[in-house]
Amino acid sequence: MRKPVLLVSALLLLISCSTLYVKAPPGQTVTLLANEPATVRFELRQVSLFWGLVPISNGALNTATWARQVNLSQMRVKSYYKWYEFLWNLPGFFLLGLHTNTVLIEGNPPALER
C-alpha cells in the first residue's frame, strides 16, 4: 500500500503547476515583447498552496506595480524553477501542496526613453 501512495505523490509533484496573472498598470499600455533583447530584468517568487491552486503571493499586483515604477512599454514573462525551489517543493509538496517557482520579467521602456 505504501509504494502506490509514494508513486502517486511523486507523479503529482512532477505535474504540479500554478497560474500566473500578468497585469498592466492602470492607464498604461504594455505590449508583449518578442525575442528582442530586454533592457530591464526583474525576478519575483510565486508561492501557492494546494499544488498551485491557491496563490499566496500576489504576483499579479507586484507585476503591475513593478511595470509602472520602471515605465515599461514592452514586457516578457517567464516562469521556471531554480534548483533550490525544486528542493523546497519536495517537502512542501507533502505539507498542503506548497509550491514555489520563479517569475522572470523582462522589458523595455518606451522608445523615447531608451
pLDDT per residue over 48-59, tens digit each?
A: 877 677 778 766
The rounded distance, in Å, linking the Cα atoms of 20 and 64 is: 12
Please, what is the average pLDDT of the chain? 77
Residue 57, all three cell numbers: 503571493
pLDDT per residue over 3-49, tens digit each?
A: 888 877 776 666 556 667 777 777 878 888 888 899 989 888 888 87
Place of cell 515604477: 69
Concatenate the DSSP letters of all residues of the chain into one string: -HHHHHHHHHHHHHT--------PPTT---EEP-SS--SEEEEEEEEEETTTTEE-S-HHHHHHHHHHHTT-SEEEEEEE--HHHHHHHHHHHHTTT-EEEEEEEEEE--GGG-
State the pLDDT at residue 39. 92
Strand 74-80 and strand 99-108: pairing?
A: antiparallel
Q: Mention every residue, 6+ apart, whose C-beta is less than 8 A from residue 114.
A: 39, 108
For the chain, give every domain's residue range: 2-113
Query: The pTM is what?
Result: 0.70
